[in-house]
Amino acid sequence: MKEDRMPEIPAEQWSEAQKQAAEQFATQRKTGVFGPFVPLLRSPEVMLRAAALGDYLRFRNVLPLKVSEMVILLTARHWTQQYEWNYHYPLAIKAGLATEKAEALAEGRRPAAMDNEEETAYEFCCELHANHGVSDTTYARALQLFGEQGAIDLVALTGYYSLLAMVMNTARTALPKDAKPALPLLPQ
């Protein structure tokens, strides 16, 4: 693994804006700055705004939790983002995503035997990643299952976790100690 380009900044070196952002983050999240928020702390306002969006998307979006976590894994796979995968894999399994489905995603394969919600979210997000948009047929399925707010939440989850993946891939954010990369490199 290549060296982390944007490791944690020692607290004594934080600017006033970084101190305030880290304090606000810790108050809201009940934890210190971690993962993608370590490089994002270089732009404190972006970090706080991203965290606020993440709070909604992780804890209050209208999609079933299993679907949300599957979308996060699908996005982590799209970007080969090891930290994101490592963090969300156990959450997806706990939320009810079958291990075989998660493993298929890790291998870049379409999971077998998806239920209607999983399949619709999968198609929606794969089309969005590949085509930069969604077909009328897939949009209609998502609308029927999740409503307009759910369709927007699917887009927002895909976009938000793409943002975090791009930040961590650029920063080369290291995995937590003792964690091993779970995503194989896919053929180009």
Question: Structural domain boundaries of the chain?
Answer: 16-59, 65-168
Please answer whether residues 44 and 134 qualify as being in contact, where contact means their C-beta atoms are separated by less than 8 angstroms. no
The predicted model gives 174-179 an average pLDDT of 89
- pLDDT mean over 92-105: 98
What pLDDT is recorded for position 185?
84
Question: Residue 5: which residues within 8 A CB-CB, separation 6 or more?
Answer: 39, 170, 171, 172
Q: What is the DSSP string of 137-167?
A: HHHHHHHHHHHHHHHHHHHHHHHHHHHHHHH
| pTM (predicted TM-score) | 0.95
pLDDT digit string, tens, across residues 32-43 = 999 999 999 999
Average pLDDT over residues 135-160: 98
The C-alpha atoms of residue 60 and residue 47 are separated, in whole angstroms, by 19
Confidence of residue 1 (pLDDT cuts 50, 70, 90): low
Residue 43: what pLDDT? 98
Cα distance between residue 127 and residue 138, in whole Å? 9
- pLDDT confidence of residue 186: 80
Backbone angles phi, psi at 58, to 5 degrees: -75, -40
The CATH number assigned to the domain with range 65-168 reads 1.20.1290.10
Q: For all residues of the chain together, what is the average pLDDT? A: 96
In whole angstroms, give the CA distance from residue 13 to residue 25.
17
pLDDT score, position 32: 94
